[in-house]
């Protein structure tokens, strides 16, 4: 299926909208000006576009015809394009014959991401695109000005730069938000979520993390849906990637409340639970091939914290349990009550076996599997994120996870942070995002990148992409947990506002929803929370507080209950529209 052709004129820049090849959300070319142009001592022209995007360039040369050499790069070294960046960091050299007023300059096609059967192709009308920030031009005759070059950058046609925002008292955190927000935008170039420039192939886990962050930056569900439909036709190989399709469907249901979309897709999702691998007690069993290759736990393989693979794998079974739980909810959405009951029964049976056989009775934390005593970060972070830890074991599991720190990849970090925030460990989660060293988003910022990476650093994955949106977890973590805005009913008819600012002293967020933006603002100095909701949205509000705190709305104390265990004041009544809440001791 090819979507219709669109074109539009956008103020001072031209945005030509094309469908990408296969079924994909419409994308557009946005013409961008250079941020700086300077001539180097050797006569080379160095052009900086400010941030990396997927695209190519036009050279505008109203003078005589000439031949030039053009270098495209993602990385710099010694104030020049790094021409040997290593891995899959992009550097490409090409030549161009400038004839007439305007010449498209694009690199040769990369065979890997344009000829592999699963690779997503971009429209031929664009010419070849690649991710780059800098351009160096050799052989230019005469003066070179900013007006002589423009970048043709590809983005989702529906993307709204004003849909979301985040500001806090921590400028590094704000910069992380913008890095991650832009990463989601820049990687929409293909019309479906791809895993970066090396392969340009959709993968289920990549797609789910992209989906969460896309919703948090721009509420349009089309690209997530088209990626979902693509992956149902062309699934990939890792064990845990299959349940991510159920995660994607459930995320769509919560985002849109669209029963007409989920109902015809429900039956096909059943195989994604992996229930054919279950033994009598409900736990999944992995054969030798699955243990050696398919059970992924984390990626790259060096990020597994010493995980010991066994026939009954704790991480695989954690995903299986979460899939069963979400399938019971999706069955209700699809109006299949018998299936909902069946999945809930399977969940309860398997959860009992999971907790009985995979928790070490001596340590109280999860082992990697049934035939090992080894306990890794991953064997505990996924059960915590999925709500599978018995209440009596949570303190020990949380303590273990905090002690291990960020011994996981940028992919698993999504679930690590979710688990910590779900347990009210906001400061620990914030510290991980802002940590010194090379395993945090602060490190990415300090490197100068403008799109998140596939791994924490090149040394952890030497062939990593520098344009991988699964590394952009804070794009959804900050609005969902620090601002605390997330839906509790499908379609955002009801939401929870439960901010967790930790050591921050101010916070302002604009969180998109299909009904309009949700605004949250707070200053510690006044302890006033301001909330503004779009029409048709009702909110439940839970605020960090002390035991004797009172909530005042329009100067009057409103009913609220203090949760001693969580240190939160839960307002008893739902709120609509705009409300200002003052907390007083």
Answer whether residue 48 is part of any domain.
yes
Alpha-carbon distance 252 to 210, whole Å?
Answer: 12
Alpha-carbon distance 45 to 369, whole Å?
Answer: 58
Q: How far is CA 206 from CA 151, 232, 265, in A?
A: 27, 14, 20
Low-confidence ranges of the chain (pLDDT < 50): 1-14, 18-21
> Are the C-beta atoms of 368 and 310 separated by less than 8 Å?
yes
Answer whether residue 384 is part of any domain.
yes
Q: How far is CA 138 from CA 69, 72, 149, 187, in A?
A: 5, 12, 14, 29
Please report, for the domain that includes residue 385, its CATH number: 1.50.10.10
Count of structural domains within the chain: 3
> Are the C-beta atoms of 376 and 405 separated by less than 8 Å?
no
**Which ranges of 459-573 would DSSP assign to H, the alpha helix?**
474-477
What does the block give as tokens for 136? 């160096």
Span 209-259, pLDDT tens digits:
999 999 999 999 999 999 999 999 999 999 999 999 999 999 999 999 999
Q: How far is CA 388 from CA 103, 175, 350, in A?
A: 58, 34, 11
Residues of the chain with pLDDT > 70: what percent? 96
Please report, for the domain that includes residue 513, its CATH number: 2.60.420.10
Please report, for the domain that includes residue 105, its CATH number: 2.60.120.260
Alpha-carbon distance 349 to 343, whole Å?
Answer: 10
**β-sheet bridge partners, residue 580:** 530
- Whether residue 294 is found in the same domain as residue 410: yes
- Whether residue 256 is found in the same domain as residue 348: yes
366 closest CA partner among 303, 429, 318, 420:
318
- Whether residue 296 is found in the same domain as residue 410: yes
**Which ranges of 374-525 would DSSP assign to H, the alpha helix?**
378-385, 394-404, 410-422, 426-433, 441-447, 474-477
- Whether residue 255 is found in the same domain as residue 396: yes
- Whether residue 278 is found in the same domain as residue 362: yes
Please give the model's pTM, rounded to 2 decimal places. Answer: 0.95
* Count helices and strands in the chain by DSSP H and E runs: 16, 24
- Whether residue 111 is found in the same domain as residue 17: yes
581 closest CA partner among 447, 484, 488, 473:
484
> Are the C-beta atoms of 569 and 545 separated by less than 8 Å?
yes
Query: Of the residues 385, 411, 433, which one is the last residue of a structural domain?
Result: 433
Answer whether residue 530 is part of any domain.
yes
CA 231 centroid distance within chain: 17
Query: Of the residues 156, 176, 193, which one is the last residue of a structural domain?
Result: 156
> Are the C-beta atoms of 67 and 54 separated by less than 8 Å?
no
> Are the C-beta atoms of 583 and 529 separated by less than 8 Å?
yes
Alpha-carbon distance 556 to 62, whole Å?
Answer: 70
**β-sheet bridge partners, residue 313:** 369
Question: What pLDDT shows up at residue 15?
Answer: 52
- Whether residue 411 is found in the same domain as residue 299: yes
- In the three-class reduction of DSSP (H, G, I as helix; E, B as strand; rest coil), residue 52 is classed as strand
- Whether residue 267 is found in the same domain as residue 410: yes
Answer whether residue 247 is part of any domain.
yes
Answer whether residue 448 is part of any domain.
no
- Whether residue 50 is found in the same domain as residue 140: yes
- Domain span at residue 392 reads 239-433
Answer whether residue 205 is part of any domain.
no
Answer whether residue 579 is part of any domain.
yes
- Whether residue 251 is found in the same domain as residue 395: yes
- Whether residue 14 is found in the same domain as residue 134: yes
- Whether residue 32 is found in the same domain as residue 143: yes
Question: What pLDDT shows up at residue 17?
Answer: 54
Answer whether residue 135 is part of any domain.
yes
């Amino acid at each position: 299926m090819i979507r219709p052709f669109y074109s539009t004129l956008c103020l001072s820049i031209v945005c030509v909208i094309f469908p990408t090849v296969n079924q994909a959300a419409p994308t557009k070319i946005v013409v961008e000006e250079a941020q700086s142009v300077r001539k180097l001592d050797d006569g080379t022209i160095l052009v900086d576009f400010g941030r990396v995007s997927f695209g190519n360039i036009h050279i505008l040369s109203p003078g005589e015809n000439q031949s030039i050499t053009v270098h495209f790069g993602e990385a710099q070294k010694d104030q020049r394009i790094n021409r040997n960046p290593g891995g899959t960091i992009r550097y490409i050299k090409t030549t161009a014959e400038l004839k007439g007023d305007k010449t498209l300059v694009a690199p040769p096609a990369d065979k890997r991401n344009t000829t592999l059967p699963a690779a997503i192709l971009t429209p031929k009308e664009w010419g070849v695109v690649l991710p780059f920030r800098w351009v160096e031009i050799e052989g230019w005759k005469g003066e070179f000005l900013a007006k002589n070059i423009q970048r043709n950058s590809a983005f989702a046609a529906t993307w709204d730069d004003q849909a979301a925002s985040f500001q806090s008292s921590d400028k590094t955190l704000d910069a992380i938000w913008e890095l991650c927000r832009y990463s989601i935008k820049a990687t929409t170039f293909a019309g479906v979520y791809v895993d970066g420039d090396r392969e340009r192939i959709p993968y289920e886990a990549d797609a789910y993390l992209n989906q969460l962050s896309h919703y948090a930056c721009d509420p349009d569900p089309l690209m997530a849906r088209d990626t979902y439909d693509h992956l149902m036709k062309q699934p990939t190989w890792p064990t845990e990637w299959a349940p991510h399709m159920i995660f994607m469907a459930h995320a769509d249901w919560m985002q849109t409340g669209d029963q007409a979309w989920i109902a015809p897709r429900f039956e096909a999702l059943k195989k994604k639970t992996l229930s054919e691998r279950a033994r009598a007690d409900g736990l999944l069993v992995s054969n030798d091939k699955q243990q050696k290759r398919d059970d992924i736990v984390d990626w790259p393989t060096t990020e597994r914290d010493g995980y010991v693979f066994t026939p009954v794998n704790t991480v695989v079974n954690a995903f299986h349990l979460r899939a069963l739980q979400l399938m019971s909810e999706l069955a209700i959405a699809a109006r299949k009550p018998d299936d909902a009951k069946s999945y809930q029964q399977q969940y309860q049976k398997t959860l009992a076996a999971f907790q009985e056989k995979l928790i070490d009775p001596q340590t109280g934390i999860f082992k990697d599997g049934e035939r090992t005593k080894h306990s890794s970060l991953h064997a505990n972070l996924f059960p915590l994120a999925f709500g599978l830890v018995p209440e009596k074991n949570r303190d020990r599991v949380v303590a273990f996870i905090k002690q291990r720190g960020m011994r996981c990849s940028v992919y698993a970090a999504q679930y690590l942070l979710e688990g910590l925030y779900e347990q009210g460990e906001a400061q620990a989660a914030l510290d991980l995002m802002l940590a010194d060293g090379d395993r945090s988003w602060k490190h990415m910022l300090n490197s100068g990148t403008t799109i998140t990476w596939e791994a924490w650093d090149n040394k952890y994955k030497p062939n990593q992409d520098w344009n991988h949106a699964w590394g952009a977890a804070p794009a959804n973590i900050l609005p969902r947990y620090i601002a605390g805005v997330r839906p509790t009913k499908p379609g955002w008819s009801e939401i929870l506002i439960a901010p967790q600012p930790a050591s921050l002293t101010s916070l302002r967020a604009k969180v998109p929803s299909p009904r309009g933006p949700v605004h949250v603002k707070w200053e510690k100095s006044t302890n006033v929370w301001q909330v503004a909701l779009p029409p048709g949205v009702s909110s439940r509000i839970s605020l960090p507080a002390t035991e004797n705190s009172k909530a005042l709305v329009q100067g009057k104390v409103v009913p609220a209950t203090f949760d001693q265990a969580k240190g939160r004041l839960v307002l008893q009544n739902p709120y609509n529209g705009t409300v200002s809440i003052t907390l007083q001791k």
